[in-house]
Structure 1
Amino acid sequence: MGFGSLLNATLSLCDCELLRYLLERFDVGRCSIHLEEEELLLGDDDVQKTLGIPRGQQTVVEAEITSKDPQFTGLVALWRQRWGVKTGTPTTSQMLNGIIERRDHGDMFKRDFIIYVVSTLIRGFKNMFCNYRLLYSLQDVSKIQDFNWCAYTIRSLVDTTTTWRGKRDAAFTGPATFLMVRGEIVRKRIPTITSWTSSDLRARVKVERDIGGFGKGKVVEYIPDAHQPPPPQLSPPVNCHKVRKLKRSPPH
């Protein structure tokens, strides 16, 4: 499916102060983070090197809530029956427990896994229910790796940041892990999420506080692991590792 790298991820901490700093300095128009002296542009390639998820040619599509597509609605009915719900979806915690308890495999397991990953790492809901509308793009599980999940993550970052800014006391439901981990290299391994632990994140936050606050360090290039081949380039990179000196004040 192309999501195997996430099985090696151990980072479970979200630092709210760091996340708020990044969200407040994220430019939704340019898809960039305005640091103290630099601008870090984000794109598909950054997501692939951070999370290690597929970057294929097809666009991930979520069904509309009112969709009457017979194949989609039929699959939703079967999926809800599998999870014992008549409407809506199970929560992410229910899905996690169910996936562990079932220990099954097959097409429905693959759909469960992708829905759980997306709902917890990329595009979730504040009520902790799962993003079942993804089933529209999961009808043929053999094509999961053909979708551009990196571009989907970037779209989610822009959309969820815009929503969060409308009510900043609300929970952020977008790709928080990607936003926090991007740009920090630990033991030179790609995807970088496989090298991060909660202890690493705490240490990073402490160092940045000690030097006077977030955003004062330098943006660094990715350093590939000599023992790992580069990830496949399935679509043109978007704003890969572009850093520019700021000539204006960061957005508020």
Structure 2
Amino acid sequence: MAVGNTLVSFLFLFIAVAHLAEASLPDYIKACSASDPKFNDCAFETARASMRKFAKGDKERDIPVLDPLHVKEIKAIGGKNGEGLSVIFTDCKLTGCEKLDLIKFKIDIAKKRIVGKAVGNLVLDAIYDISGRILIIPLTGHGNAYVDLRDCKFTYIFDFDYVNGTDGKQYLTIVKDTLKYDIGKASFKLENLFNGDKILGETTNRLLNDSWKEVINEVGPPVAESLKTAFRSTIQKFLDSASVDELLLP
């Protein structure tokens, strides 16, 4: 009888532990089998379905909200020695991450690399401070900025490694990451250019929109860097909350 009770207790304990391990993953994440020939198909579908959940944040896992993404400051100092177009954006609010559409997601376990590609539109609202030149036109101004980025293509690549957690389990950690981007079209609206000169302001905004590629060459990299920092922080927080055994089934 004692042996029977012990066996029953063990089975209940085993079921409870298995249930807890399964429950440690959020309901929007599906574990995939690394030995499954369609492993990357499973990973893609899971990542695609979970993107909007990630954008909304997950308080239980300390994952911050990505949409809107708030950034204190974005600096774009163009040209050598500060020559060219220089813009400082403050109190930045970037919206659109929630609606990005994931079109590729591939995990290479042997190379310890993950590649994700997404497309969509982003909008930046901020306070701007601008000086310098665009083409041959001098610019100066401070006020509200609205930047509309259309048909964006993002490729986020990160290399990972395995680390041992305090619980004895293995976890993934990001060791290197890059964010590549291509903007299909950009439009700008900067208020209060030239201390509120309406004619100069409207003319300059038209020039900025006509020369949007040149402007993006200046302001694109720091905006992308802010996005990359947010992506990395969000993904790492999630990876810290789920062990390799939970994410990758045999």
TM range (shorter): under 0.3
TM-score by length of 1: 0.21
More strand per residue: 1 or 2? 2
Does 1 or 2 have the higher relative contact order (CA < 8 Å, sep 6+)?
1
> Which structure has the greater CA radius of gyration?
2
TM-score by length of 2: 0.21
